[in-house]
Amino acid sequence: MSSVAVLYVSIYAAVILGLLIFMVVGFGFAVDLATRARTLVIASLFPIICVAVIGATVLSMRNLTFADIAIEFMAAGAGSAGGWLSRITTLGVLGLCAARLVANWVGNENIGLGGVALLFGFLLFVVTNSLTNAAFGTEGGLVHQHLYPLIVFTALYAARGSDAVQVVQTAKWTLVFVMALSLVAAVVAPNLSLQPTTHSFIPGFHFRLWGVVSHANALAPLALLLVLLDLYTPSQGVARRGFLWSLALLVLLLTQSKTALGAAVLSLGSVAAYRFRMVLADGFSGRRDNVFPIAVLALLGLGTCTLFILFLWGDPLHALERFTTSKRGASFLNLSGRDVIWEVALREWYRNPLFGFGPTMWDPEFRQSIGLAFAFSAHNQFLQSLGAGGLVGLTGLLVYLGLMGRTAFKTARATKGASLGLFVLVAVRCVTEAPFTVNTLLNSDVMTHMIIFFVLTVEASKLKPQVSTAKLVTSAGRSPELTMSHHGALDG
C-alpha cells in the first residue's frame, strides 16, 4: 500500500473515530438531559418532527399546479436536501428516545403504573406487520424504517408518568404553528401549498390546502387533532380558545378532506354525546364544559333537519341521478380511485393468505410494477395490513385497535370524552387511509399516532386495578393480619 493510500485510510479512520466519540458523548449528554428534564425530552419530539416535515416540504420546491395528474412527483424531500434533513432529524429523534429509555431504567420510574396492555398491542402490530411478513411474505425483506417506532413508542410508554399537560400543550402549540404557517404559505407561496382542483365542494374555492406538509389529507387530521387536544386540555381564556378553534376548523375546511370532515362530525359528536350524558348524570351547572355538548348536538341536529327538509321539498331521485353521473359523483362512488388500489391489495393477499406480500408492498418498485405510481398505501388500514401482512398482520391490527378502543372507553370519564374522540379519529381514518403505516418517522400520520398513543397510555396508567367482590369476600374471611396485609398491598 502506497503512502498516499495509507494517508487516506488514516484520515478516513480518524473521521469515523471522531464521529463515534461525538455520538457517544452526545448520547451521554442526552441521557443526562433526559434524567434531569424527563418531560421536556418527550415534549420536544413534536416540534422537532414538525420542523423536519416543514423543512422537507419547503426544500422539495414542489409545484402543485399539476398535482391532479402527477401526484407521484409531489413527495416532499425525495432526492433533495430534504432527504439529508430527514436522516439527521430521524437520528436525533431516535437518540432522544433511546436516552429517555436509559434514563427511565436508571431512575427506576413508573413503578406501579399501568398501561402496559396498549404497549403490548402496539408491539404485536409491529411484529405482525413488519417482521413476520418480512420472513414469510411473498416478497420478503426487512425494512429498517418500520422498526424505528419500536424505540419511539416504547419511550412514550416509559414517559407515561411525566407531566402530560406540558407535553400536550407543547404538541398543541406546535400544531397551531403548522396551521398558521400553512395559511401564510397559501398567500405567499400558493404553488407550494395550494392544489388547484375541479372537485371542490365549497362554492368558489377551487383549490385544496396542502399547507407545509406532504398532502391535504395529512394536514386535515392535524387540524382535527388540535381541536380534540384542546378538549382534552382546554386552553385558558375565551379569546385564546376561540382563536385556536377558528384556525383549526378553517384549515380543516380548506383541505376539503372528506375523510377528515366525516371524522370531525363523528369524533366531536362522540365527545359531545358523552359530555351530554355526564351533564344528565351530574346535573347542568352552566359551565362552559356543559354548554359544549349541547351546542354541538344542537348543530348536528339542525344540520340533519335541514337535509331532511331539503330531501322532502326537492326532487331527491333527480338530484341523486345528477350527482352519480357527474365527475364529482363518480369520484365519490369509487372513493377517488381507491377501489382499484383495494383490488390490488386483495389480489396480493390471495397469493399469500397468511403473511401477505411483505413490508415492501407499495414501495416505488411495487407501484411501478402495478402501474399505480400514486398508490403510496392501500388507502385502508385493514387492507393495508391484509395485503402486506396477511391474516397474521390483520389480526395484529385488530388486537391493537381493540386495545386502543378499550382504553379509550375506560378513560372516557377522566378525559370527559376526549379519549373517545381521539379513538374515533383513528378508527374513521382506517377506512380510507392507512394511518399506522410507517415509511418514515417524519410525517404527520406518525406524529398523530404518537400523540394519541401517549394520551391514552398516560390515562391508562392512572386507572386503578379493580378488585372483584369475590376477592373482597375471601379476604374478609381471613385472619385480621392477612386481611390488613392484603389491603395494604392493594393500597400500594
pLDDT digits (tens, 9 = 90+) for 459-491: 999 886 654 444 544 544 554 444 444 434 333
Q: Are residues 373 and 483 in the same domain?
A: no
Mean pLDDT of 363-376: 84
Q: Are residues 387 and 479 in the same domain?
A: no
Q: Are residues 413 and 484 in the same domain?
A: no
Longest dimension (CA), the chain: 92
Q: Is residue 326 part of a domain?
A: yes
Render pLDDT for 200-233 as a digit per residue (tens, 0 to 9): 777 777 889 999 998 999 999 999 999 999 999 9
DSSP H or E stretch at residue 173: helix 164-188
| CA 142/CA 132 separation, integer angstroms | 10
Mean pLDDT of 332-358: 82
| CA 153/CA 384 separation, integer angstroms | 21
3 versus 438: which is more confidently predicted? 438
Q: Are residues 416 and 454 in the same domain?
A: yes
339 versus 345: which is more confidently predicted? 345
Render pLDDT for 97-122 as a digit per residue (tens, 0 to 9): 988 888 777 656 666 677 899 999 99
pLDDT at 248 over 80: yes
327 versus 364: which is more confidently predicted? 364
Cell of 364: 416505488
Q: Are residues 473 and 411 in the same domain?
A: no
Q: Is residue 49 part of a domain?
A: no
Domain count, the chain: 2
Give residue 11's pLDDT band: very low, low, confident or very high (50, 70, 90): low
pLDDT of 403 reads: 96
| CA 123/CA 186 separation, integer angstroms | 39
pLDDT at 273 over 80: yes
What single letter denotes the amino acid at residue 428?
Answer: V
Q: Is residue 73 part of a domain?
A: no
User: Minimal CA–CA distance to 210: which of 330, 57, 88?
Assistant: 57
pTM of the prediction? 0.82
pLDDT at 405 over 90: yes
- Cβ burial, residue 414 (10 Å; 0-12/13-18/19+): middle
Q: Are residues 477 and 413 in the same domain?
A: no
pLDDT of 429 reads: 95
pLDDT of 354 reads: 95
Q: Is residue 47 part of a domain?
A: no
pLDDT at 3 over 80: no
pLDDT of 20 reads: 61
- Relative to beta strand 207-209, strand 194-196 is antiparallel
User: Minimal CA–CA distance to 116: which of 426, 457, 401, 389?
Assistant: 457
Mean pLDDT of 227-245: 91
Q: Is residue 16 part of a domain?
A: no
DSSP H or E stretch at residue 194: strand 194-196
pLDDT at 95 over 70: yes
Q: Is residue 8 part of a domain?
A: no
Mean pLDDT of 375-389: 92
pLDDT at 74 over 60: no
Mean pLDDT of 40-63: 89
Q: Is residue 402 part of a domain?
A: yes
Q: Are residues 406 and 490 in the same domain?
A: no
Q: Are residues 279 and 306 in the same domain?
A: yes
Give residue 310's pLDDT band: very low, low, confident or very high (50, 70, 90): low
Q: Is residue 58 part of a domain?
A: no
pLDDT at 300 over 50: yes
Q: Are residues 443 and 481 in the same domain?
A: no
What integer best gives the mean pLDDT of the chain? 79
- Any alpha helices (H) in 205-337, and if so which ranges? 216-232, 238-255, 258-282, 288-313, 316-325, 327-333
Collect all residues with Cβ–Cβ distance below 8 Å to 131 and sequence separation of at least 6. Answer: 142
pLDDT at 317 over 70: no
Lowest mean pLDDT among 17-21, 166-170, 186-190, 395-399: 17-21
Q: Are residues 390 and 482 in the same domain?
A: no
pLDDT at 375 over 90: no
Strand partners, 207: 196
pLDDT at 436 over 80: yes
Domain span at 492: 468-492
Q: Are residues 154 and 299 in the same domain?
A: yes
Q: Are residues 239 and 349 in the same domain?
A: yes
